[in-house]
Amino acid sequence: MKLKDLLKNVPVVEITADAEMDIDQIYYDSRKVKAGGLFVAISGFASDGNRFIPMAMEKGAAAVVTAKKPDGDVPYVLVENDRLALSLLGTNYYGCPAEAMTLIGVTGTNGKTSTTLLVKQVLENCLGAKVGLIGTMENLVGDEVIPTERTTPESLELQALFARMRSAGCSHVVMEVSSHAITLDRVGGVHFDVAAFTNLTEDHLDFHKTMDAYCDAKAELFARCGKAVVNMDDSYASRMMEKTGCPVLRTSVKDGDLCAQNVELHAEGVSFTAVCGEETADVHLPIPGRFTVYNALTVIGIAKQLGISLADCAAALAEAKGVKGRVEVVPTPETPYSVLIDYAHTPDGLENVINSVQDFCKGRVITVFGCGGDRDPIKRPIMGRIGVELSDIAVITSDNPRTEDPEKIIEDILAGVRDEMGEYYVVCDRRKAIRYAMDIAGKDDIIILAGKGHETYQEIHGVKYHLDEREEVRAHLAELRN
């Protein structure tokens, strides 16, 4: 493709490269550059891609795209924003693939994964659509699973994924959109047919610094969509609404355009009546937890914005499958207690899952939790307080310490805990913590293994070790029986 065609809609400041030259491929990693490629130098946080322009040229790059004028005799395209340029270059290179499909984006601190997976199931059930999914757990092209490393891929990979979905015949794409993806222009230039907001609670403040800045980053999604769905029961909803210049469907369990009435919570799931104007439908979703009601409202709101009736959406939700790592029931045959796995790794997520389980637990709630390393340390004492205060028994342990000292993270968690808050124990080794919780559990107790969710590894001192909590539960049950 000619360079001039790749640069369509890219804000260019200056160009010395030949606009008529042919470009074989686009790269932003200098180590991968091949002859005839275009190297995009990204001014990153860990390292500045401009430092690697000489390496890219040595490897045969035809030209570079940069927001900093390079030294020496280098054919370049000087742009206003290197990250936005990468996204737009990828869009042009792959032929604007997202425009050929209906694109749905979901943002928020909690509930994105469950919501997107449920939307996919509703679209498949109600429309017979082939649906692509981009999210935290995995990417899906129909039923084909594609592993993922981050919630929203880098912009060039995102456009390649859109192109793959288009080629596979997908008519719809539903994706989780993280605040990092918006701030770092991974979705730069992408227009969403429908965008939805679930909630906003403390997370990623190591990156955004303040909650208002975190909110404003997510709100940018609503400046680039055709229709919106907003959870009005969240305290940041009004600030989020300031960015929406499109038709908005407001959801609420209290009073919204779409609301939930007659809410019932059970160990087997939730039931409520969805009401939108004169339209009503009885909703039954086989996923327990009060937050499931909110996720369901967001799903129904998205479906409504796409022209699907409440009745059809409700029928699809009744057949929905649970989401791995989200209030997931782990089989524990012949035991008097139950075990649930949930991805809750934020203060609000932990509070939600414990409160939800307390709603239907007949015995004690025993919560095993920790906090991740190399992530927002501010939330650690907050999660310590929530975990101990709301649980009948808390077992504080490691999550993914990553490059941090696991015991130091636990010290940070304990800074928010006082003895009078409740009964708690510290077991640093997560495998031992799971076994300890199972050993102390009794009749009708529910153990919540919080934080890991769908993950099947634990990262300690920068090394990933296999850890599937389902396997750990099965293994301990086998040990007890032998």
Task: Assess contact for 347 and 379: CB atoms under 8 A.
Answer: yes
Q: Measure CA 139 to chain center.
A: 11
Task: Assess contact for 159 and 152: CB atoms under 8 A.
Answer: no
Q: Mean pLDDT for each 10-residue chunk of the chain (482 residues)?
A: 97 97 96 96 83 95 96 94 97 98 93 92 97 90 82 89 97 92 91 95 62 86 94 91 89 94 87 96 91 95 98 95 85 93 91 90 96 93 98 98 97 98 98 98 96 95 96 96 86
Burial of 336 (0-12, 13-18, 19+ CB in 10 A): exposed
Q: Tell me, what's the pLDDT at 321?
A: 81
Other CB atoms within 10 A of residue 22 CB: 11
The CATH code of the domain at 328-481 is 3.90.190.20
Q: Among all chains, which residue has been given the structure tokens 């990092």?
A: 180
Q: Tell me, what's the pLDDT at 205?
A: 56
Distance CA 312, CA 295 (A): 17
Rg of the chain on CA atoms, in Å? 24
Task: Assess contact for 29 and 44: CB atoms under 8 A.
Answer: no
Q: Tell me, what's the pLDDT at 451?
A: 96
The CATH code of the domain at 3-93 is 3.40.1390.10
DSSP secondary structure, 17-65, as one string: S-TT-B---EES-GGG--TT-EEE--B-SSSBGGGGHHHHHHTT-SEEE
Distance CA 257, CA 480 (A): 52
Q: Tell me, what's the pLDDT at 400?
A: 96
Q: Tell me, what's the pLDDT at 153?
A: 84
pTM (predicted TM-score): 0.80
Q: Tell me, what's the pLDDT at 208?
A: 54
Assess whether the region 97-318 and the region 328-481 belong to the same CATH fold: no
Backbone angles phi, psi at 139, to 5 degrees: -105, 145
Q: Tell me, what's the pLDDT at 202?
A: 59
Q: How far is CA 98 from CA 113, 133, 146, 285, in A?
A: 20, 13, 18, 31
- The domain ranges of the chain are 3-93, 97-318, 328-481
β strands within 351-428, DSSP E: 365-369, 393-396, 423-426
Backbone angles phi, psi at 470, to 5 degrees: -65, -45
Domain 97-318 sits in CATH 3.40.50.12160: no
